[in-house]
Amino acid sequence: MMPSNYSLSILFLFGLMGLLFGCTPADGPHSGALDSGTSATESSTPGASSTLTLPSNGYSYDLQGHRGARGLMPENTIPGFIKALDLGVTTLEMDLVVTADSMLVVSHEPWFHEAFSTDPEGRPVTNETAQTFNIYKMTAAEVAQFDVGLRQNPAYPEQQTMAVQKPLLKDVILAAETYARSNRLPPPRYNLETKSRPEWIGEFIPDPQTFAQLVEEIINQFQLQDRATVQSFDPATLMALRQINPEIRQSMLVFREDPVQAVVAYLGYTPDVWSPSAALVTPDLVEQVHALGMQIIPWTVSDPTEMNRLLDLGVDGIITDYPNLAPVR
C-alpha cells in the first residue's frame, strides 16, 4: 500500500492546506477545523453511496486482500487474487500503472521491482536496473516477458514462488469474475489504486486526466460501477476522476496525521472512504470520519490482534497481506 517514497504531491498538498486553513501535519488529525467555522461537507457529499452491500462471505466488514494475498502469493498477480478469493475476501485491492500502448497493468511501481523481478533474459532485476525497466515506455506485450514470481520476496517468507507475469487489469477482472462464478463465490469488489506522483508525469505515468479516463473506461466496460472503488495517495487522479464520473466510489489514502476536514475541503467533495495507515486509527478518528459520511478502511494490517483492535474501534474494513488471519465477525 505505502509507496516506496512518500508522494511529493501529498507533502505539497498538505503544506498548502496548512497555509490555507491554519493547520499543519504536526497539529494532528483531530485539530484541523476550518477557520471559516463551516463544515467541509456542507456543499459536498460522497460521489456514490458510501456503504455497499457486502457479499455473503462470512465477514461483516470489508476484508480486502492487499495486492491479492501478498503474504502468501506473488503480489498483484492473478494467482494471488484467486488465492484471496479462496480465502473469502470481500474486495481485491491492487495497484495500477500504464503502458506505452495505454493499457492498465497491475503493478505497485511503474517499473519492475528489484526484490522479485526477473528480466526477459533470465537475469534478476537489481536496484541499479529497476527503473530502467520503465513500464510506461513498454508495450503490454513487452511487460509480459518479465517474471515476478520465481524469486521469492524476502520480506514474505511464506510466499509461494511460481512463474507469473504482471497482468493487465482487464485480465485480472476476467479471471476473478470467471473464478467466482465457477466456484459459486460472491462477486468480488475491486479497490483500484492509481500509482501517481507529479514528478512521474510524462516519464513513468500519463497525466491525471488520462490515467483517470483509462480507469473509468475499464470500470464501465465490466459494469463495475457498484463494485469498484478508486483510491490514491495523490488527489490528482481522484479529482480528475470526479470530473469524469462523480458516481465512481473514491478512497483517500493517508499515511500521516492530516486533518480530515481540511483534506475534504481541498478536494472540494467528500470521498466515500478514508483509508489511513492502521497506526493512525483512534476512536476519535473513526468518529470524525463517520460523522463526515465516509467509511474508514485502514491499511496494511498483518497481525490478528491489531485487526481485532481496529474492528473493535468500528472500522468498516481492513486491508491485509494475510486474509487467512482475518477474524470472522
Digit-coded pLDDT (tens) for 167-208: 999 999 999 999 999 999 999 999 999 999 999 999 999 999
Check: CB of residue 102 under 8 Å from CB of residue 138: no
Q: Which residue has the cell 479516463?
A: 213
Cell of 137: 515506455
Statement: residue 55 has pLDDT above 70: no
Nearest partner of 79 among 192, 194, 183, 162, judged by Cα: 162
Q: What is the band of 52 on the pLDDT scale with cuts at 50, 70, 90?
A: low
Least confident among 37-41, 74-78, 315-319: 37-41
Instruction: Name which of 42-51, 105-114, 151-160 the model is least confident about.
Output: 42-51
Provide the pLDDT confidence category of residue 27 given band limits of 50, 70 and 90: very low
How would you label 251-284 residue by residue, b for 16+ Cβ within 10 Å and e otherwise? Answer: bbbbbebbbbbbbbbbbebbbbbbbbbbebbeee
The answer to whether residue 41 scores a pLDDT higher than 70 is no
Residue 43, pLDDT score: 36
What's the confidence (pLDDT) of residue 9? 44
Tell me the C-alpha to C-alpha distance, in Å, between residue 159 and each of 63, 73, 252, 302.
20, 5, 29, 14
DSSP 165-221: -PPBHHHHHHHHHHHHHHTTPPPPEEEEEE---GGGBTTTB--HHHHHHHHHHHHHH
Mean pLDDT, to the nearest integer, of 87-109? 99
Output 112 or 35, whichever has higher pLDDT: 112
Class of domain 8-109+169-325: alpha beta
Residue 108 main-chain phi, psi, to 5 deg: -75, -30
Q: Give the predicted TM-score (pTM) of the model.
A: 0.86
Give mean pLDDT, residues 39-61.
57
Considering only CA atoms, which of 56, 6, 64, 60 is closest in space to residue 302?
A: 64
Helical residues (DSSP H) of 27-147, grouped into ranges: 78-86, 140-143
- A 10 A CB-CB count for 122 gives 8
Nearest to 85 by CA among 182, 178, 176: 176
pLDDT at site 39: 33
Could you report the per-residue pLDDT of 132-152, keeping only the tens digit for each? Answer: 999 999 999 999 999 999 999
Radius of gyration of the chain (CA): 19
pLDDT digits (tens, 9 = 90+) for 199-237: 999 999 999 999 999 999 999 999 999 999 999 999 999
Of residues 118 and 34, more confidence is placed in 118
- Burial class, 243, CB count within 10 angstroms (exposed 0-12 / middle 13-18 / buried 19+): exposed
3-state secondary structure of 248: coil
pLDDT of residue 185: 96
Confidence band, pLDDT 50/70/90 cuts, at residue 46: low
